[in-house]
Chains A and B, each alone.
Chain A
Amino acid sequence: MLRFIASRLLQAIPVLLVVISVTFLLIHSAPGGPFSDEKAVPPEVARALEAQYNLDQPLWQQYVSYLSDVVRGDFGPSFKYSGRTVNELIAAGLPVTAELALYAMLVALFIGISAGVFAAIRPNTLQDYIPMSAAMLGICMPSFLLGPILILVFGIQLEWLPISGWGDIPGDKILPAITLGTGYAAYIARLSRSGMLEVLSQDYIRTACAKGLSERLIIFKHALRGGLIPVIAFLGPAFAGLLGGSFVVETIFQIPGLGRFYVTSAFNRDYTMILGMTIFFAGLIIVFNLLSDLLALWLNPKLRQQARGGN
């Protein structure tokens, strides 16, 4: 198992290197620099700014010095936010985004698994069609539509919940978590339905039925563990996706997370910020994929044996 983890981590190094190099080249070849503005920048100012951020050096030199900083865990100063470092900005946004992603994931898992399992028990009946159509709707409904609808209904019309902020007013985390979680809930519902359907047709379930076990016991004790494997495999990428994809929800609900920095840094040509965030998210995806693989191994004895045999 340790060898498995170590080899996956080693594989991550070239992946990260490619990510850094491609991103570096792409942002430096994009037209417009970090300091261009509607008001013309006088040449003296442009020179001073470029010198300060080493932009007057040849590109390869900038690349090398950037890489050596990154290896030491230093993502450099932000070009846009004078005096802030990229590390500092990530540290400010990460706890918020992580908390939002966690709540959204809980919402997604609760709604998704309940609906999926519920539907799988009576396939091709109304009990199946209703939650699955709802899931289809959830997948199709983008958060920039769902968010404002929830705000209008629960925030402005009913005045039950705050519509903006994060941790400022009690209850302000509910709507963003539901908005972000719904799309994923729909995926999870479909995944857990198909996973459950597959497991429920297995011989060991039939055996359990034949032994006269109650349906509850069969579902919760025997079927759920196998049926949720596709969901588990989805969890890693989903969590990374929640962390990196919360921009829209963060903007709608005025949440001080990472997503907003990520998108605005690209518009601002804040080179170090774009790079820092990209590397950070690439790292997250690698780690979460590894974690979900480990979880799947733990849940599925068949895979566990394959991993042992293979290594």
Chain B
Amino acid sequence: MLNQKLCLKSLFLLGIISLLVALSGCGDYQSNVESGNLKGTLHWGNGTEPQSLDPHIATGVPEHHIISSLMEGLIHKDGETLEPRPGVAESWDISDDGRVYTFYLRKNARWSNGDPHNAHDYVWSWWRALQPALGNLYAYMYFPIHNAKAYYEGELKDFDQVGVKALDDYTLQVTLTNPIPYFLQLLDHYSTYPVHRATVEKFGSADQRGTRWTYEGNIVGNGAFQLKEWKINRRITVERNPYYWNADNVGLNQVVFYPTENVTTEERMFRAGQLHYSGIPSDKIEAYKQAGDPSLRIQPYLGIYFYRLNVEQPHLKDKRVRRALGMTINRDQLVSQITKGGQIPAYAITPPGTMGYYPESDLTFDPKAAKQLLADAGYPNGEGFPTTEILYNTSEGHRKIAVALQQMWKKYLNIDVTLLNQEWKVYLDTVSNHHYEIARAGWIGDYVDPNNFLDMFLCNGGNNRTNWCNPEYDQLILQQAPTAKTQQQRLEVFKQAEKLLLEEMPVIPIYVYTSNNLVHPSVKNFGRNILNQSNYRDIYLEPTSSSEVTP
């Protein structure tokens, strides 16, 4: 009997010993951050697997990160100030009326296969980006260019009439319909990046979606890096492009992008030294703050969290009701006790400081006045006000905010609010079909200009979704702002429009987003800006004495 016991016990022991051997064998591995700092490899937590690396098809932040390492526009933005800096264009002139831009391209600009890169590449690429069959969601980025919208919508057949011309191999002239000051910024958005014609056409027709030209071994770009490997769901590695015009000043040898999918996983990878850069779950921000961790970066982000009100709902038709709802949100309390990510209370739709624009808002937290407004609208002390539903897409963060608003509206207006959460695509469907009363929303700017926020609420704007329509507002945004003589006048028009929007309140601004990230102290020249845009060409790594970062 003793023998058998021994036998079973030894079986267990064997298992445990082999496990321990396996464990101890793996004790001495070098973390990605340690080895990356030595080799000049940046390890980047990139959120999700990119859906495409074609700049004229992709949408989304993870795609943006990768594409901006592989390709470059005529200009690029300064990492701190977002001012335009020479990219492929080494200089440019702007005509006195602000409508004609002439770009002088670098003669030493090359594609990553060594091919010369010139002005004709832009004409062809922009023609491609405006082909409806390609399904470019960012085609509207080209609409400031003369006739681009008409061409895209099929009203004009001849691309020669669109305001893009190669005057010679290295001079590109772009004519705008109106002198809009944010045009240069658009040239650093990936949707206006040039693509390598021969490569695109090798794998299909120019306006065909889903060809394989962007895959490993195929893609040719003009950026500081070139695609080395693309392992689905595993990583995308880009390496230094020797043909890049400024290759000598690129500080990194490689960037590895990880499609982490889950921000909690990403943060753990950061803590274990696997990543130089990651997101951070909002519930962990406090712990990093308390530990005084230098890797935590919280900075304002060009995005607004707001609620849409469906103004066709009988009880939300009256703007006094909508104002009352907007005036009874204690935003300071909301950001300090609920969101806790350094968000800034918002009293207007355009984030303040957007290219020198500060909206004038009369919206305040004023429960007394709000109660009076509600009474004037026929609901004294909330009596007779129907139970109203807040719709949000399933997420703990959105739920907390909705619950807080539910309580505030009950407390200050004595009205009943219920909550409904829907899965993302269902929620999008419900909101775009206007089957809601109040719905949570968010908007992230593509370029730094009030227009990017305010043109959402035009009468037939696809992103309006509130049924609100005011011809006066449309006139300000569509007619007066684009033709304003000076930038100052233009901003005044936007202020006027925003004031109108806030008076009528089809949308309730809640807070300005912040971008919250973890950046390892060895990452230098990272740049901070409200677009949370990274210039991989500028970043370099400097090993710190202690690469350990613990919160």
Binding site for B on A (CB under 8 A): 30-33, 36-42, 44-45, 47-49, 52, 77, 80-84, 89, 92-93, 110-111, 114, 117-118, 121, 148, 151, 154-156, 159-166, 169-171, 174, 214-216, 219, 251-254, 256-257, 260-261, 264, 267-269
Contacts and interface: CB of A to CB of B under 8 A. Distances in A.
Given A39-B137, A82-B54, A114-B15, A214 B26 contact: no
Contacts of B49: 81
B414 interface: no
Given A30-B426, A267-B424, 4 more contacts: A32-B429, A156-B268, A170-B26, A251-B261
B268 A81 contact: no
Contacts of A161: 23, 26
A161 B48 CA distance: 24
B363 to A, nearest CB: 24
Contacts of A33: 425, 429
B428 A170 contact: no
Contacts of A216: 3-4, 7
**Nearest 9 pairs between A and B by C-beta?**
A40-B462, A32-B425, A171-B26, A256-B233, A82-B52, A215-B4, A256-B234, A31-B429, A83-B210
Interface of B: 1, 3-4, 7-8, 11-12, 15, 22-27, 29, 48-49, 51-52, 54, 57, 59, 132-137, 139-140, 152-154, 209-212, 214-215, 231-234, 258, 260-262, 264-265, 268-269, 271-272, 274, 423-430, 432, 442-443, 461-463, 465
B365 to A, nearest CB: 28
B132 A45 contact: yes
Contact of A44 (B11, B153, B268, B426): B153
B59 A39 contact: yes
Contacts of A89: 232
A84 B265 CA distance: 26
B1 to A, nearest CB: 6
A82 B204 CA distance: 13
Nearest to B431: A38
A82 B426 contact: no
Contact of A81 (B51, B59, B139, B262): B51
B9 to A, nearest CB: 9
23 contacts: A32-B425, A32-B428, A37-B59, A38-B442, A39-B462, A44-B132, A44-B154, A49-B209, A83-B209, A83-B214, A92-B232, A148-B264, A151-B272, A156-B272, A164-B265, A164-B272, A166-B234, A174-B22, A219-B4, A256-B234, A260-B233, A267-B423, A268-B425
Contacts of B51: 80-82
Contacts of A264: 48, 261
Contacts of A164: 265, 268-269, 272, 274
Contacts of A252: 262, 265
A29 to B, nearest CB: 12
B11 to A, nearest CB: 6
A37 B137 contact: yes
Contacts of A165: 234, 274
Nearest to A43: B462
A267 B425 contact: yes
A111 B11 CA distance: 11
A261 B233 contact: yes
B41 to A, nearest CB: 13
A40 B423 contact: no
A169 B235 CA distance: 14
B265 A254 contact: yes
A245 B25 CA distance: 30
Contact of B57 (A38, A82, A154): A82
A156 B426 contact: no
Contacts of A219: 4
Contacts, number: 176
A41 B265 contact: no
A169 to B, nearest CB: 5
Contacts of A52: 133, 135, 209-210
Which of A83, A118, A162, A256 lies at the interface centre, i.e. has the most chain B CB atoms within 10 A of its CB?
A83
A250 B367 CA distance: 49
Nearest to B426: A31
Nearest to A169: B29
Contacts of A159: 27, 272
Given A52-B209, A82-B51, A163-B269, A38 B22 contact: no
A219 B4 CA distance: 9
B30 to A, nearest CB: 9
Contact of B27 (A47, A77, A81, A160): A160
Contacts of B210: 52, 77, 82-83
Nearest to B138: A39
Contacts of B4: 214-216, 219
Nearest to A171: B26
Nearest to A82: B52
A82 B1 contact: no
Nearest to A93: B233
Given A156-B272, A174-B26, A261-B233, A45 B425 contact: no
Contacts of A268: 425
Given A39-B137, A52-B209, A216-B3, A160 B428 contact: no
A257 B259 CA distance: 12
Contacts of A166: 234
Contact of B139 (A36, A38, A45, A171): A45
A41 to B, nearest CB: 7
A30 B3 CA distance: 63
B129 to A, nearest CB: 12
Contacts of A37: 59, 137, 428
B257 to A, nearest CB: 12
Contacts of B262: 251-252
A153 to B, nearest CB: 11
A156 to B, nearest CB: 6
B215 to A, nearest CB: 7
A254 B269 contact: yes
Given A254-B260, A264-B261, A36 B272 contact: no
A31 B425 contact: yes
A59 B430 CA distance: 22
Given A92-B232, A110-B15, A264-B261, A41 B268 contact: no
B272 A162 contact: yes
B268 A160 contact: no
A260 B265 CA distance: 13
Given A93-B233, A110-B15, A81 B52 contact: yes
B11 A114 contact: yes
B215 A83 contact: yes
Contacts of A155: 268, 272
Contacts of B268: 148, 151, 155-156, 163-164
A93 B233 CA distance: 8
Contacts of A30: 425-426
Contacts of B54: 82
A36 B22 contact: no
A40 B135 contact: no
Contacts of B48: 264
Contact of B432 (A40, A148, A269): A40
Contacts of A82: 51-52, 54, 57, 209-210
A215 B232 contact: no
Nearest to B260: A254
A92 B230 CA distance: 11
A30 B264 CA distance: 29
B59 A171 contact: no
A57 B256 CA distance: 41
Contacts of B22: 171, 174
